[in-house]
Homo-oligomer: A and B are copies of this chain.
Amino acid sequence: MNKNVLTNLLKIKYPIVQGGMIWCSGWRLASAVSNAGGLGLLGAGSMYPEVLKEQIDKCKANTTKPFGVNVPLLYPNIEAHMKIIMDSGVKIVFTSAGNPGTWTALLKQAGITVVHVVSNTKFAKKAEDAGVDAIVAEGFEAGGHNGREETTTLCLIPIIREAVKIPVIAAGGIASGSAMLAAMALGADGVQVGSRFVTSEESSAHPNFKQAVIDAKEGSTILTLKEITPVRLLKNDFYNELAQAYDRCASVEELKTILGRARAKKGMFEGDMKEGELEIGQISGNISTIKPAATIIEDMVQEFETGKKRLAQISW
């Protein structure tokens, strides 16, 4: 039997990574996912350095399994974050939103496994050249910050698979064992799951936000703000204000003024469904329950196995 290259690399049971999401993925979620056989990630993007330190300590206290930290490389206090990560003995770092050339070598020297998030082939190759151990290839469907090319997961995974030799983790549109099976049919070695874990019991998302994700239907999310940083949002009053600005050809400055500051915290963490910035994947339209993280993983693995058997029976 082929032991999966990704589970080997990360020393986990199932090739399921829980995306490190701002305001949603603290120690409760990350440790629950790691305890259930996936890889839990702390989302450092919404944490002050001292909060990250505390979260790492709590995660360690709650799981003996591998877990990691997701760090957006454009974070203003990146040096403080990286120092805490290295000093704490964290073994896995996922980097995103920035140049993998800046930190990869340093992290690797500290014995850390480095995975970088990309949304196109060019940056996948750059990440491989920078020495990362694996990449997350994130399609148009994904929540949070996405590529400008709008390449969907179905189109992206095969070209990234062909472009690099290192393990590829598919992200965007994956909330079920069937989608995991589809991603691996396309050549991915594993998957990163975001939205589905936002609606886990252990996620630190505000209950209002969890409910809004469950209520989402087809067409409830949209990729917007491409002029600043592309992001996929649940359509709400804040988004409608943006849409009206677009309709009158507002300047980038005006868009930035509307966006303001701390919108994501207001929505995702504090529960303001009207004025908050609600980052979530398109697959939210397919999610209708809140479950413990361990159940989400068990269900995915079970559905993956069932699907695999169903596919094996197809004949012409």
Which positions in A face B, CB cutoff 8 Å? Answer: 1-4, 7, 13-14, 37, 120-121, 139-141, 148-156, 158-159, 172-174, 176, 178-179, 181-187, 218-219, 222-223, 247-249, 282-283, 285-286, 301, 307-308, 311-316
Contact = CB atoms under 8 A, between A and B. Distances in A.
A219 B152 CA distance: 10
A181 B316 contact: no
Given A154-B174, A179-B185, A185-B185, 17 more contacts: A7-B316, A37-B316, A149-B218, A149-B219, A150-B282, A151-B282, A152-B152, A153-B154, A154-B154, A158-B179, A158-B286, A159-B286, A178-B187, A184-B311, A247-B249, A308-B311, A308-B312
Contacts of A4: 314, 316
Nearest to A312: B312
Copy tally for this chain in the complex stands at: 2
Contacts of A158: 176, 178-179, 286
A248 to B, nearest CB: 7
Contacts of A154: 139, 141, 152-154, 172-174, 179, 182, 283
A183 B182 contact: yes
A154 B139 CA distance: 10
Given A1-B313, A316-B13, A179 B184 contact: no
Contacts of A183: 182
A286 B316 contact: no
A314 B184 contact: yes
A164 to B, nearest CB: 14
A106 B231 CA distance: 46
Given A4-B314, A308-B311, A285 B178 contact: no
13 contacts: A3-B315, A120-B218, A150-B219, A151-B218, A151-B285, A152-B282, A153-B154, A154-B172, A154-B179, A155-B283, A182-B182, A247-B249, A311-B312
Nearest to A189: B314
Q: Which 9 pairs from chain A and chain B are nearest by CB? A: A149-B219, A249-B249, A182-B182, A154-B173, A181-B185, A182-B185, A152-B152, A1-B315, A149-B218
Nearest to A247: B249
Interface core residue of A3, A13, A148, A283 (most chain B CB under 10 Å): A283
A152 B153 contact: yes
A280 to B, nearest CB: 12
A1 B312 CA distance: 10
Given A2-B313, A314-B4, A286 B155 contact: yes
Given A152-B152, A182-B186, A219-B151, A159 B285 contact: yes
Contacts of A218: 120-121, 149, 151, 155-156, 159
Contacts of A148: 219
